[in-house]
Amino acid sequence: MNIRIKLRIHQWGVEFLAQETLKIEGMECDHCILRVGRAIASVKGVTVVDVNLETKEAVVEFEETRTDLKIIKAAVREAGYEPL
Footprint of Cu ion (CB under 5 A):
28-29, 31-32
Of the two residues 37 and 45, which places its CB atom closer to Cu ion in the complex? 37
Of the two residues 67 and 76, which places its CB atom closer to Cu ion in the complex? 76
CA separation (Å) from 67 to 29, 41, 60?
A: 28, 12, 11
Of the two residues 17 and 35, which places its CB atom closer to Cu ion in the complex? 35
Shortest distance, CB of residue 29 to Cu ion, whole angstroms? 3
The SS3 call for residue 24 is strand
Shortest distance, CB of residue 74 to Cu ion, whole angstroms? 20
Burial of 27 (0-12, 13-18, 19+ CB in 10 A): buried
